[in-house]
Amino acid sequence: MYAIMRTIGSRFSSRGSDRGGGGGLLARNPSTWAFLVLTLIVPFSSRAYGTQVELIQVKGIINPVISSYFIRAIGEAEKDMATCLVVELDTPGGLDESMRDIIQRMLDSRVPIVVYVYPRGARAASAGTFITLAADIAAMAPGTNIGAAHPVALGQGDVPKEMKEKVLNDAVAYIKSIAARKGRNVSWAERAVRKSISSTETEALKAGVIDIIAENFEDLLAKIHGRRVKTPYGEKEIITKGARVKEVRMGWREKLLHIIGNPNIAYLLMMIAIYGIIFELSNPGAIFPGVIGAISLILAFFAFQVLPISLAGLLLIILAIILFILEIKAPTHGALTIGGVISMLIGSLMLIDSKAPYFRISLSLILTAVAATTAFFTFAVGAGVRALGKKVVTGREGIVGLIGVAKTDLSPNGVIFVEGEYWNATSVDGDVKAGEKVIVVEAEGLRVKVKREGR
């Protein structure tokens, strides 16, 4: 750069000499000219490169949505030539594939990555431990913890011992590689996976797992200022003093997908879909329940794509829906409803195919949903049974037992007047004179059989 400026200064010097004057100080001394130009350029250059800190907040289960958000933020930080990307992390863990996608991008980042376990009470457990160790600078707030990274098998059945060992050894090798690459405590990292150990922020700092304990975001920026870290593209100095902070937020689509990726929300969407479809089929033309049910069903199936779903559990819930619909269309006085309730309960308990607590559907939510479904269909079926037991009050069956008046002589045939209508009638107990009261005892087609009142 100095040579370029000297050349530029020499050219300006030559032009000054050609114009006839002594050229002054700048003309006589090109080095002075170059120095002044650099003095003007450098401040603007420093503003363009490395004086912006970018921030993202990662909270909840590590899933494909979080992975996409994390990777997008790294790309934006590189595009903006930020001095570093700070990740405020609070996670119980998540999917192995999503975690590895994030770490792979972190290790190839041109911009230093600072993972900060924050706020107080936050944790970097399971997948969060791997991500924290993969950071160029790892920091924690007071009252936080890190560790418990033992891999949890996806599947509620018994996993063969050999498979468990393969998964465990793979996770151990991966975390040891990350810790060694970033100069962290490899022994602690291995025990975090094998023994599920967890450490507080002070224990982690003492053990060489993290680099900094920071009270808050401002304290973090002050403590990382001037630090130099190695990236795949060379050594970088982190300049945070006076830096502008840009928060990279989730888009509305990412927020929506992250919310419905919660197992409890996904289950609620599925239940809403079930109720919407059943209401629509039981009340054709209502439209609104069907539309809500269809939308909820689509969202639920999207959520299932990012969750470890058991096919058997899902099929049992679908069977429950079929049984409920059949009960509506062909009432069996509760037999199909009982089968549907049992199928829904077992299917709901089996739906998430993971032993990880953060992937489980709340048992209270399952019991509430099943109880509500049971109550609804018990009421609906009970109302149907009671309706079948009631006396018919309309049509020809509805006039049986009513009292009418003979309008003509019944000997034995004639006409009577009942409930505002004239009926052809036949007397079953002898002749009846016009004006006498009669009781309808039977209805056959358009003719009724009657007898005198009081007999």
R_g of the chain computed on alpha carbons: 40
How close are the terminal C-alpha atoms of the chain, in Å?
A: 125
Residues β-bridged to residue 139:
116, 212
**Helix residue ranges per DSSP H, 207-262:** 217-224, 252-260
Say which of 166, 195, 206, 241 is annotated catalytic.
Answer: 166
Q: How far apart are CA 103 and CA 84, in angstroms?
A: 16
Q: What span, in angstroms and rounded, lies between the C-alpha atoms of 80 and 53? A: 10
To the nearest 10°, report the CA torsion of 403, 405, 411, 415: -100
Residue 218: phi and psi, rounded to 5, are -65, -40
Assess whether 166 carries a catalytic annotation.
Answer: yes
Active site residue 354: no
Q: Say if residues 142 and 119 touch (Cβ distance below 8 Å).
A: no
Residue 85 burial by Cβ neighbours in a 10 Å radius (0-12, 13-18, 19+): buried
Amino acid identity at 47: R
Interatomic CA distance for residues 267 and 289, integer angstroms: 18
How many other C-beta atoms lie within 10 A of the C-beta of residue 176?
17
Could you say which of 13, 126, 296, 427 is catalytic? 126
Please state, in angstroms and rounded to a whole number, the distance separating the CA atoms of residues 429 and 42: 121
Spacing of C-alpha 111 from chain mean position:
29
The catalytic residues are: 126, 166
